[in-house]
Amino acid sequence: MARQLKDEDRSIWRAAMRGVKPLQRMSANTSETAPQPVSTRPSIPSSAARSTIAERAAAPGGIDRRTLTRLKRGELTIDARLDLHGLTQEAAHRALARFIAIASADGARLALVITGKGRGGEGVLRAAVPRWLAEPAMRARILAVTPAPPQLGGSGALCVQLRRVREPAARP
């Protein structure tokens, strides 16, 4: 059962449609092809879109599926945590470099870097931190980077798996 429009609604509709011309209909005997039906299935991102997603999600590489599953289940503990909220880019970059160096030296294996989502989900630090983690000085200490699971901050945080620091073998 269709709802009847009020006179006020009809006048608003007519005012909005004033000046709009209907599309010309194609006759059945024209040589032009009919438009193709639009697929309602979800589309798979193109390779360019996938690479952009991957670059944002993981600087040096992603955490393997098993480790990520264990993290989501709470089976792994966060060894070190850094919150960059409220810092300028310069201060955040210095703090991140210092944090990665200290956490690595202390033997931390899993670190959480909280960037925040920024206004409208387009935070400056949220975009910059993956680039900074890919810099050679930090990349040497990092095994993998991935967005944090929802319970740890989701897209406003990154889980950083640090490389194990091996001490040189003692020579006899």
**Tell me: the pLDDT tens digits for 97-125?**
999 999 999 999 999 999 988 877 778 99
Quote the percentage of the chain above a pLDDT of 90.
23
| pLDDT computed for residue 100 by the predictor | 93
Range picked from 14-23, 79-88, 149-158 for highest mean pLDDT = 79-88
In a domain, residue 88? The reply is yes
- Give backbone dihedrals phi and psi of 39, rounded to 5 degrees, phi first: -75, 140
Number of domains in the chain: 1
In a domain, residue 1? The reply is no
In a domain, residue 150? The reply is yes
pTM for the full model? 0.59
Which residue has better confidence, 62 or 135? 135
DSSP secondary structure of 137-165: HHHTTEEEEEEPPGGGTGGGEEEEEEPPP
**One-letter identity of residue 55:** E
In a domain, residue 24? The reply is no
Instruction: Please give the residue range of the domain that contains residue 89.
Output: 48-162
Return mean pLDDT, the chain.
Answer: 76
| pLDDT computed for residue 77 by the predictor | 84
Q: Name the pLDDT band for 167 (thresholds 50, 70, 90).
A: low
CA-to-CA distance for 65 and 59, rounded, in angstroms?
A: 16
Query: Which CATH number belongs to the domain containing residue 147 in this structure?
Result: 3.30.1370.110
In a domain, residue 38? The reply is no
Query: pLDDT tens, 29-80?
Result: 555 555 555 444 444 444 444 334 434 443 345 677 787 777 777 777 889 9
In a domain, residue 66? The reply is yes
| pLDDT computed for residue 172 by the predictor | 60
Mean pLDDT along residues 137-144: 88
In a domain, residue 9? The reply is no
CA-to-CA distance for 73 and 149, rounded, in angstroms?
A: 10
In a domain, residue 121? The reply is yes
